[in-house]
Structure 1
Amino acid sequence: MDKLTGMTVFVRVAKAGSFAAGARELGISRAMATKHIMQLEGSLGSRLFNRTTRSLNLTDVGASYLERCQQVLLDIEEMEAAVTQLQTEPKGVLKISAPPVIGATHITRAVVEFLKIHPDLKIDIILQGSPGDLIDEGIDIAIYLGALDDTSMVARKLATSPLVVCASPDYLVKHGIPKTPEELEHHSCLVNWAIAPRHKWQFRTETGLKIITVSGRVQTNAAHSIRIAAINGLGLVMLPTYIVGGDIEKGLLKVVLDDYALPPLDIHAVYPHRKYLSTKVRSFLDFLQEWLGPRAGRPSIE
């Protein structure tokens, strides 16, 4: 008998807890299910189940084999899906979660261009400060800024954005221009909780990474709030250039400490699991990475 079929029957029987239930789920007879399992045990030279008239339990070998079988069957499913998906256009609904600022600007622009070339696709964009529960909320892709705290997440790095420290010209006239990172401890630093770690600004110096604990008159999880506060002279901010680049060009904000290179802000796409990505997810990730990253020769989001 076909070993893959035997493995499929074994997994279904083990999950169902009985030969009869597993056979019903597969649409075969109990006798046929039993025959598949016996053939599998014969080829392995080991019992997979401890059988009694009242119960069916996996042996230690069976429990280990079940885990391996599930992975093999999953790999085959993904391989077959890959072949099918390569011949399929993105369609259906793609649900994306993104932080408000980058979501309303760069991500939305990318979505608009992506939809122009994929007419059978619809995209839902949710703007929220944190990725949320991807599985419970049915989110296909979540855009994540900064270091990934949860290493169990499946993530793909899309781009980086330079970080700058800046303040309004009025603030710098009144309170002075900081010349070193240490001087920030005596300034009002407007804190963006959305960029981890909170209250810790990092700088690269000749002696290595320098971490400064900062505080100020405004703290928020929304970058635009502290951007507005900074423009109005309430303190210094550390924000990505995709947020404050226009303000710097207009003279509303002035960059300080530009002799100290700041670690850039990483931008990741996070998705729920390691299974083979659908065409709509894979295609959009590829498109978005080009849009945010090396598109038009840009190494990062400005």
Structure 2
Amino acid sequence: MTSISDLDIFARVARTGNMSAAGREMGLSPAVVSKRISQLEERLGARLFQRTTRQLMLTETGAGYFKRVVDILSLCDEAEDFVSRRNTKPRGLLKVTMPTAFGRLHIAPYIDSFLARYPEIELHVSVSDAFVDIIREGFDLAIRIGELEDSSLVARRLAPDTRVLCAAPAYIEKHGLPATTVNLEAHNCLVADAIEMWKLSGPEGDVQVRPYGTVRSDSGEVIRELALSGVGIGLLSIWDIGPALRSGALRLVLPAYRGASAGAVHAVYPSREFMPAKVDVLIEFLAELYGAVPYWEREIDIDKLGARQTPRGATRRIGKAAAQAVAPR
């Protein structure tokens, strides 16, 4: 039977992609790590890694084995925590990944209060707008925004994510406002890399719009700055642009429409029977901080703002310049 220590060595090599790095973590030489991996492959009768002179990559079999090994190691840790009662007190290293802008605006300012409440927790915060495999990368918790895909992970909804169409006054003055969602096709739409369709909810129910534009980006912060500078129309979150809407730096476009309600701010973590207390307390802290109606939405009344920005009887035309601004298609 394969020993737990061999599984631990395999998992560390898989995470780091480097035998020397895995060896340093465990106090073993690269030669010992290499020998243990080879013995494991021999025992299993399968190749777990593709080796070249420059890199080490999991095979398809290795990737499937890694996913199951991580679950086994997690259960072992939880069993030890249960026996020693260490899991009942929030302490230790807590690794969290989150989107860049949301982390900067709505988590970082409150970390001091969290650590004051739980002084035995040490935080490692990673910010990225890219999708992160929290199991492979060894994170305890991820903050994710939008619609979640089905997975083996557990998710808790922390707050709504209300998104609105908006643009800078300079863009509106030059190109006009779309009268309907169909007219968005004649405007320069600012789109995130992973988005193919804008899912909207409006007076006629749910609609989908395929946005076109001259700029795409993998950064939500870049999309926001492009909207502020008058480049085009964005579908952006209230938590991100509330101050800009209040100041008039951004104005609502088609104010009767919102992003689909399925999107939200979620805490996502591995499926475990015994959740570590350090993870649980951070989730509860954020849920308490945001509440049913988060502070960023209490600070602005979108319905009143939309009524004020779109006077009755106003005629909105699509400018010729806007139609010429979008990318060829």
Q: How does 1:44-193 map to 2 (within 5 A)?
A: 81=82, 84=85, 87-88=88-89, 90-193=90-193
1:131 offset after TM fit, Å?
4.2
Structure number with greater Rg is 1
Q: Distance in 1 between matches of 2:173 and 2:248?
A: 14
1:291 alignment partner, one of 289, 310, 313 = 289
1:186 offset after TM fit, Å?
0.6
Match in the other structure for 2:279: 281
Structure 1 residues without counterparts, runs of 5 or longer:
1-14, 18-70
Whether 1:242 aligns to 2:243 is: no
Q: Distance in 1 between matches of 2:294 and 2:203?
A: 33
Match in the other structure for 1:200: 197
1:300 offset after TM fit, Å?
7.8
Q: Distance in 1 between matches of 2:83 and 2:209?
A: 47
1:86 offset after TM fit, Å?
7.5
Whether 1:212 aligns to 2:209 is: yes
Q: Deviations over 1:90-149 (max 9, x none)?
A: 111111000100011212123222111111111010001234221232200011111112
Q: 2:183 is paired with a residue of what secondary structure?
A: helix
1:100 corresponds to which letter in structure 2? T
The normalised TM-score by structure 1 is 0.67
Q: Distance in 2 between matches of 1:237 and 1:82?
A: 52
2:190–2:232 CA contact under 8 A, matched in 1: yes
Residues 258 and 85 from structure 1, CA distance in 2 versus in 1: closer, same or farther, beyond 3 angstroms? farther
Match in the other structure for 2:250: 253
Q: Deviations over 1:257-278 (max 9, x none)?
A: 1112432431111112323111
1:161–1:300 CA contact under 8 A, matched in 2: no
Q: 2:151 is paired with a residue of what secondary structure?
A: coil
The normalised TM-score by structure 2 is 0.62
2:282 corresponds to which letter in structure 1? F
Residues 81 and 247 from structure 1, CA distance in 2 versus in 1: closer, same or farther, beyond 3 angstroms? same
Residues 98 and 297 from structure 1, CA distance in 2 versus in 1: closer, same or farther, beyond 3 angstroms? closer
1:156 corresponds to which letter in structure 2? R
Residues 297 and 101 from structure 1, CA distance in 2 versus in 1: closer, same or farther, beyond 3 angstroms? closer
2:166–2:253 CA contact under 8 A, matched in 1: yes
Q: List, as ranges, runs of 4+ consecutive aligned residues in structure 1 with deviation greater than 4 Å.
A: 295-302
Residues 93 and 104 from structure 1, CA distance in 2 versus in 1: closer, same or farther, beyond 3 angstroms? same
Q: Deviations over 1:185-239 (max 9, x none)?
A: 1100000236xxx131122234331100011121111111111111111100001
Q: 1:135 is paired with a residue of what secondary structure?
A: helix
Q: 2:206 is paired with a residue of what secondary structure?
A: strand
Q: 1:139 is paired with a residue of what secondary structure?
A: coil
